[in-house]
Structure 1
Amino acid sequence: MNKTTKKLDNNVVKALTLACEEVKQWQIGFEWLTHTARYNHFPGSLMITCVFANDDQVERAVADGLDKKLRQRIQGNLLKAGIKVKDIRRHVRLDSEQSCARQDQGDWQRRIARFEC
């Protein structure tokens, strides 16, 4: 990873860390998030996975419109870091520990690789 790419990745990490810490305080079952990106196709390749404890919490977040609020928070933090994505819905997906355990035997690397842009 060259210096420019490393700096860009650090900016993404900072923006997402801020969003993560804020959303954890919402008490909605959100646990953590991670991202992947191919920086030669950035920002189009940026994929952010927001992880909840179980499927019910994901469904509840969507039903209550908190998924939109979560995406807005992430997009706002990315914008503050100078990173603009065209359609944040394409770049943020919700998932759960429960689904990963059921479908991928808890292997998050394999699971996330399936959803990369």
Structure 2
Amino acid sequence: MKSTIKKRDDNIVKVLTTACETAKQWDIGFEWLTHTVRYNHFPGSLVITCVFNIELEVQQAIENGFDKKLRQLIQGHLLKAGIRVKDIRRHVRLDSEESCQRQHQGDWQARLAQHSG
């Protein structure tokens, strides 16, 4: 990995970690987040996956507007790192441990590869 790409990825991890810790405090079932990116198509290929424990928590988060709040939180942190995306809705998706277990036998790498940008 080139040093400029490594530095950019480190910055993304740093700001997403901060966003993650904030979102965990909301008590909405949110567990963790991760990202995938192809740097030759950055920032358009950046996909952030917010993971909840069960699918019902994902649905409740959407119904209660926490999906929008999560996207705003993440977008704000990305902007602090100088990363501007055109439409944050295309870059942040919600998922659950339950769905990964059911559809990919808990293999998050395979699941994330399916949804990478």
Partner letter of residue 71 of structure 1? R
CA distance in structure 1 between the aligned counterparts of 2:6 and 2:111, rounded to whole angstroms? 24
The aligned counterpart of 2:76 is 76
Deviations 1:53-93 (A, max 9, x none): 00000000000000000000000000000000000000000
The aligned counterpart of 2:36 is 36
1:51 aligns with 2:51: yes
Written as runs of structure 1 = structure 2, the 5 A alignment for 1:77-116 is 77-116=77-116
The aligned counterpart of 2:66 is 66
Gaps of 5+ in 1: none
Runs ≥4 residues deviating over 2 A: none
After TM superposition, the score normalised by the length of structure 1 is 0.99
Deviations 1:21-47 (A, max 9, x none): 000000000000000101111000001
Partner letter of residue 35 of structure 2? H
Partner letter of residue 56 of structure 1? L
1:14 aligns with 2:24: no
CA distance in structure 2 between the aligned counterparts of 1:108 and 1:98, rounded to whole angstroms? 11
Partner letter of residue 63 of structure 1? E
CA distance in structure 1 between the aligned counterparts of 2:2 and 2:115, rounded to whole angstroms? 25
RMSD: 0.4
Aligned-pair CA distance for 1:4: 0.5
After TM superposition, the score normalised by the length of structure 2 is 0.99
Partner letter of residue 99 of structure 1? S
Gaps of 5+ in 2: none
Aligned-pair CA distance for 1:11: 0.8
The aligned counterpart of 1:27 is 27
